[in-house]
Amino acid sequence: MNDYNALLSYARSETDEKILTMLANGKSQSEVAFDLDVNPRTLTRRLARIRARAEKQGYSPEHSMVHTAPDTFRVKGVSTFYGEDGQVKGQWVKTVEDRKNYEEIIKEIIETLSEDIPKEIPVTPPSHTESDLLNLYTITDYHLGMMSWHEETGADWDTRIAEQLLLDWFAAAIKLSPNSEKAVFAQIGDFMHWDGLDAVTPMNKHILDADTRFQKLVRVAIRLFRKIIRMLLAKHKQVHIIMAEGNHDPASSIWLREMFTAFYDDEPRLTVDNSADPYYCYEHGLTSLFFHHGHKRKTSNIDDVFAAKFRDVFGRTKYSYAHMGHLHSKDIKETNLMIVEQHRTLAAPDAYASRGGWISQRDAQVITYHKDYGQVGRVVISPEMVKHIQARS
């Protein structure tokens, strides 16, 4: 496939467009790589992604496929009729709606742009930390972008309130928790209230109470997480990030994982779990920590899934803890395999929850684990407590 001009419609970045334009104008791949200061292997991978994207949409001239499908569909099959002279006389293109295509497009964009994202400047590590300890900062069901009116739900909530509360919560949590060497920031899903241009639930398309536009929501989320991560790196020597898939933001969890992997590519003290599977794990000495939003499995039947999926880690460790969200309320179960905890949310209730009578207290926690003894401490911080700490400081 050498029709680079035709491939331009499948480019996902300005760099891709430059590469294809230069190739279309007669330059070789090695010349393009040199002129753009791009690693030749990176250029080859970019071209392979573009070609694969084109083929999925039905464009592959060497196979006589030139009739393409729109982005929301994929080509299911092509039937080509050739005449006696070997020329194409007719073609039938079968397409099918591709429900996963939106997520795949987002992931492709992040993968393509990852070389171009400005890297975060490394933070100076703390001078003294407790090497045996790990702090787990748990946030779940934050629903950034949700609109809640206190006369209807009992509390106001919008993007401005949500951004400030989370920054203030982390300032308080970092101040009150031990100086552990390691930290896990576990965002256990549904951080974003919705997942695209339309403010609806991804699966059932229920209309949601939205405060802002999706592009602004993305901008606030990135800004928030970059500030929080810098705060964590200033306190801990090692920081691990989990951006779990939720039922409100399955596609956004993809670009969050991939984007922050790229942001902190030059920061050796930070790791990001970019697993595509909605079950996550972290090992700290004899302690194992497991995470799942709760939209696929409940607290009553999650323990054996974690033990099966992470068999090696579970077998090596003595103390196992599972953390979940989804229902916005607190629930703790101790099974034969582990302690399973469902966490509350810091967010205000929306109209749907308030009208349905689903009421719970609001808080988030920092849980401290010892590498030899499991859980050894816990700090629970509510929005009211955040205000109290601010007033005293």
pLDDT, one tens digit per residue, over 108-133 is 656 655 555 667 778 899 999 999 99
3-state secondary structure of 216: helix
97 confidence band (pLDDT: 50, 70, 90): very low
Query: Residue 341: pLDDT above 90?
Result: yes
Beta-strand pair 364-370/130-139: antiparallel
20 or 109, which is more confident? 20
Reported confidence tier of residue 393, pLDDT bands at 50, 70, 90: confident
% the chain with pLDDT above 90: 66
Report in angstroms the alpha-carbon separations of 267 from 131, 170, 214, 238: 20, 21, 29, 10
Percent of the chain at pLDDT above 70?
A: 84
The predicted model gives 50-54 an average pLDDT of 82
Domain ranges of the chain: 4-111, 125-392
For residues 240 and 111, which has the higher predicted lDDT (pLDDT)?
Answer: 240
Confidence grade of residue 252 (pLDDT, cut at 50, 70, 90):
very high
pLDDT confidence of residue 85: 66
pLDDT at 352: 92
Per the CB < 8 A criterion, the answer to whether 208 and 98 are in contact is no
Instruction: Look at residue 371 and tell me whether its pLDDT is greater than 80.
Output: yes
User: What is the torsional sign of CA 222, 224, 225, 226?
Assistant: positive
- Whole-angstrom Cα Rg for the chain: 24
What's the rounded Cα separation, in Å, for the pair 351 and 209? 8
CA gap 195, 217 in Å, rounded: 10
The per-residue pLDDT for range 345-359, each reduced to its tens digit, is: 999 999 999 999 999
Average pLDDT over residues 363-387: 98
Q: Residue 96 above 60 pLDDT? A: no
Q: Are strands 238-243 and 180-187 parallel, antiparallel or unpaired?
A: parallel
Q: Stretch 235-260: mean pLDDT, rounded?
A: 96
Helix residue spans in the chain (DSSP H): 4-7, 14-24, 29-36, 40-56, 101-113, 150-153, 159-176, 214-235, 250-263, 303-309, 311-316, 351-356, 383-392
Q: What is the pLDDT of residue 106?
A: 66
Average pLDDT over residues 257-262: 91
- Taking residues 85-109, report their average pLDDT: 57
Quick one: pLDDT at residue 72? 45
pLDDT of amino acid 48: 87
- Residues 249-263, mean pLDDT to the nearest whole number: 92
Global pTM value: 0.75
Answer whether 351's CB lies under 8 Å from 148's CB: yes
Q: Of the candidates 12, 75, 91, 89, which has an alpha carbon nearest to the alpha carbon of residue 47?
A: 12
Q: Which of 274, 322, 371 is nearest to 140 (CA)?
A: 322
Compare 176 and 66 and report the one with higher pLDDT.
Answer: 176
User: Would you identify the CATH topology of the domain 125-392?
Assistant: Purple Acid Phosphatase; chain A, domain 2 (3.60.21)
Tens of pLDDT, residues 132-145: 999 999 999 999 99
| Angstrom distances, CA of residue 295 to CA of 115, 128, 141, 248, 301 | 33, 39, 11, 10, 12
φ/ψ region of 190 (left if φ > 0, alpha if ψ in -120 to 50, else beta) reads: left
pLDDT of res. 1: 45
CB 147 within 8 A of CB 352: no
Encoding tokens for residue 374? 């499991």
pLDDT at 82 over 80: no
Pick from 77-91, 216-230, 242-256: least confident: 77-91
Distance of CA 157 to the CA centre of its chain: 23
Predicted confidence (pLDDT) at residue 81 exceeds the cutoff of 80: no
| Separation CA 274–CA 298 (nearest Å) | 23
Residue 142's contacts (CB-CB under 8 Å, 6 or more residues apart) are 162, 166, 187, 190, 191, 345, 346, 347
239 class by beta-carbon count within 10 Å (0-12 exposed, 13-18 middle, 19+ buried): buried
pLDDT reported for residue 211: 93
Terminal CA-to-CA distance of the chain, rounded, Å? 65
Q: How far is CA 147 from CA 196, 208, 338, 345, 379, in A?
A: 16, 9, 37, 15, 28
Angle, nearest 10°, between helix axes 214-235 and 250-263? 50
